[in-house]
């Protein structure tokens, strides 16, 4: 009997369910915050972690530029880090985005659920700003 392929959403859910309980709730909360920011945000597993991308129309581009990618989670050793591959294009005055990487990425680190709650508004603002810059 053929095994059914899980949808992108089911793969993300399955991935999160397997995580350490110490971080699982915060990661699920971040997932819901990101997805609820705009209806044109999709999710998938990329680089073995949940990631979020723009699903709407865009001008043609080289796929190696990763222009659709909004956020890729980095959950190595129970650290909750969001990587915004093109976060440098957002003028973030809140101080949420960290790092000064030459490739244009920026990061956000969350310690726990309280940190997620405290940074929700700033995260949604950065995502909306990113979406407003889509070409």
CATH number, domain of 113, equals: 3.90.1150.200
**Residue 30 resides in a domain:** yes
In this predicted structure, the answer to whether residue 63 has a pLDDT above a threshold of 80 is no
Spatial contact of 27 and 73, defined as CB atoms under 8 Å apart: yes
Beta strands in 3-65 (DSSP E): 41-46, 49-54
How many angstroms separate the CA atoms of 101 and 114, rounded? 27
Instruction: Tell me the whole-structure pTM to 2 decimals.
Output: 0.91
**Residue 2 resides in a domain:** no
**Residue 1 resides in a domain:** no
Domain of residue 122 covers 9-58+65-132
The 10 Å Cβ neighbour count of residue 132 is 8
pLDDT band at 1, cuts 50/70/90?
low
77 DSSP 8-state letter: G
**Residue 71 resides in a domain:** yes
What pLDDT was estimated at residue 22? 87
The count of domains in the chain is: 1
Give me the mean pLDDT over the 27-55 stretch.
Answer: 97
Average pLDDT of the chain is 92
In this predicted structure, the answer to whether residue 50 has a pLDDT above a threshold of 90 is yes
**Residue 3 resides in a domain:** no
In this predicted structure, the answer to whether residue 66 has a pLDDT above a threshold of 80 is no
In this predicted structure, the answer to whether residue 54 has a pLDDT above a threshold of 90 is yes
What pLDDT was estimated at residue 2? 62
Q: Count how many residues are written for the chain.
A: 135
What pLDDT was estimated at residue 57? 85
CA atoms within 13 A on the CB side of 49: 20
């Amino acid at each position: 009997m053929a095994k059914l392929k899980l949808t992108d959403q089911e793969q993300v859910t399955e991935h999160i369910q397997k995580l350490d309980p110490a971080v699982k709730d915060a990661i699920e909360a971040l997932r819901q915050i990101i997805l609820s920011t705009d209806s044109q945000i999709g999710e998938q597993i990329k680089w073995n972690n949940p990631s979020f991308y723009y699903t709407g129309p865009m001008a043609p581009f080289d796929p190696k530029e990763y222009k659709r990618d909004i956020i890729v989670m980095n959950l190595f050793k129970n650290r909750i880090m969001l990587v915004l591959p093109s976060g440098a294009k957002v003028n973030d005055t809140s101080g949420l985005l960290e790092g000064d990487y030459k490739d244009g990425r920026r990061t956000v680190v969350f310690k726990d659920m309280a940190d997620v709650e405290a940074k929700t508004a700033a995260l949604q603002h950065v995502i909306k700003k990113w979406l407003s810059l889509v070409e």
